[in-house]
Structure 1
Amino acid sequence: MSWSAGRVLALVAAVGTLAASTTLANRVLPGWAYPVCGLVAALVLVALGRAAGCSWTDLGLRGLRRPALVGLLGAAAVALVFGIAVAVPGLRTVYQDGRVGDPDLAQLLWLTCGRILFGTVLIEEVAFRGVLPGLFGATDERWRWPPILCSAALFGLWHALPALAIGRNAAVHALFGATPVVVLQVLAMAAAGVAGIFLHLWRHFGRGVLASVIVHFTTNAGGLTLVVVLR
């Protein structure tokens, strides 16, 4: 891959867009604007990728059938894992999360189909499994570690602010106890980076970001729903 000036500038602009987006979403904007911020940032990133010469295929935004089928297969696997966790009493502490509160049905729908889908999943998949890998030179033809690892590392950094509240999860608190917040933050960011590689597997096999979107949404929305149901 040739590193043209346009591609480098697009990469810098993409990282800057993501930094501004996570700061606005987590520290500045009101809750209702969270998904709007994610949607706008995703559109800006796609525009940057296209301006830098990335094709729709490079960005993982071409094709629907294969990505959808692979994504649904991944969703079924996630649902199986959730079922096992619910069936084993000792694993239920994973779903005791103080960050969730006690939402009613309308609030749960807003959290899953509004905040999670557009404020979290859409921006993260477009950015870290679509635009950034495309700018770094990832292809669907073969697995290339450098662009995938670079994107996963940035995905970990993206979680720096949300990771500050990770200690409010009951399972995390039981496992790490009085571990300093900064250590938990670093561990959460590292875990997010590993999750980024896992999600890119679905994007790669599905030949499109839609596959990882479905898996990611099932994981986050399903996990939140279980937290509420099992309270």
Structure 2
Amino acid sequence: MTLAVGEGAVRARRPAMIATGVVVAALVGVNLAQHVLGGAVWLGPVGAAALLVFARLSGLSWSQLGLHRDRLRSGARWGLGAIALVAVVYLIGVVLPLTRTAFLDARYHLGVPGALVSAFVLIPVSTILLEEVAFRSVLWGMLARHAKMSRVLLTSSALFGLWHILPSLHFASSNRGVGDAMRGTGTAAGVLVIVGIVAFTALGGVVAGELRRRSGSVLASAGMHWATNSLGVLFGLLAWRLAG
């Protein structure tokens, strides 16, 4: 009897597990497409919309997706707090010469107009929208139907870390601080950089996921995500000015 009950529970969860597998497979495809297409801006909104349509057709509610309007105020409060905290950390990092080189990223060696467009348009549309919908909304909601919350948090965060393998391949060549640290160290150091980036972004996924869990809204994790990425561009602009 116990075995039958257990088998019944597995069968009941099977459609949700299959839907989760479809989402993970879709994310692998999108990640490869981003790498091949060179980060096409349109891919973010299109991918996010497709994931949300699939999630709704699979039975997830707006609340399960972290997008219900009743949680917007909570999400905004947590998100603004995260933005303020990241801004303070970045300011300290740019002011101190020892850590300033970490902000000298060639990809964002831009003038003021270019930095503003990147921070407030390109990054939110092409990166944050897709990744927040993918990992803290759709994947989160899918996993929550057949896994404990601790597993939802760890699984979504681990996959978020792995999502950054391809973007990390050329990180050392674009970031002066990392490039200086790796100079003359060989290919092993390049592997360590990739592992470090995956681990760091996975940890960031844990923090973002906890913000999403506590607030009940993806807006909270999106606020933190915007701060770490877009404020990095804006403070990078300051770092390049200070570096002369």
1:75-90 map, 5 Å: 75-90=83-98
Aligned partners of 1:21 and 1:38 also within 8 Å? no
| Alignment partner of 1:202 is 2:211 | yes
What whole-Å deviation, never above 9, does each CA across 1:67-124 have from its counterpart, x for those lacking one?
A: 0111111111111111221232211111112333x32333223322232101111111
Aligned to 2:59: 53
Given the alignment, which residue of 148, 154, 160 partners 2:153? 148
The amino acid across from 1:45 in the alignment is L
User: 1:138 deviation in Å?
Assistant: 7.0
Given the alignment, which residue of 97, 100, 110 partners 1:92? 100
Percent identical among aligned pairs is: 32
Aligned partners of 1:45 and 1:131 also within 8 Å? yes
The whole-number CA distance in structure 2 between the counterparts of 1:14 and 1:158 is 13
User: 1:176 deviation in Å?
Assistant: 4.3
| Alignment partner of 1:127 is 2:121 | no
The whole-number CA distance in structure 2 between the counterparts of 1:186 and 1:59 is 30
Aligned partners of 1:58 and 1:134 also within 8 Å? yes
Aligned partners of 2:128 and 2:226 also within 8 Å? yes
What whole-Å deviation, never above 9, does each CA across 1:187-224 have from its counterpart, x for those lacking one?
A: 21121111100111211222100011111102211111
What whole-Å deviation, never above 9, does each CA across 1:117-168 have from its counterpart, x for those lacking one?
A: 01111111111111111111179xxx82111111111111111110102213
| Alignment partner of 1:117 is 2:124 | yes
The amino acid across from 1:166 in the alignment is F
Residue 93 of structure 2 aligns to a residue whose secondary structure is helix
Aligned to 1:67: 75
CA RMSD of aligned residues (A): 2.2
Residue correspondences, number: 224
| Alignment partner of 1:186 is 2:201 | no
User: 1:35 deviation in Å?
Assistant: 2.6
What whole-Å deviation, never above 9, does each CA across 1:29-81 have from its counterpart, x for those lacking one?
A: 5x5xx231011111111122222222211111113111011111111111111
The whole-number CA distance in structure 1 between the counterparts of 2:221 and 2:123 is 14
Aligned partners of 1:17 and 1:41 also within 8 Å? no
Aligned partners of 1:67 and 1:210 also within 8 Å? yes
Q: Which has the larger radius of gyration?
A: 2
The whole-number CA distance in structure 2 between the counterparts of 1:109 and 1:99 is 14
Aligned partners of 2:55 and 2:138 also within 8 Å? yes
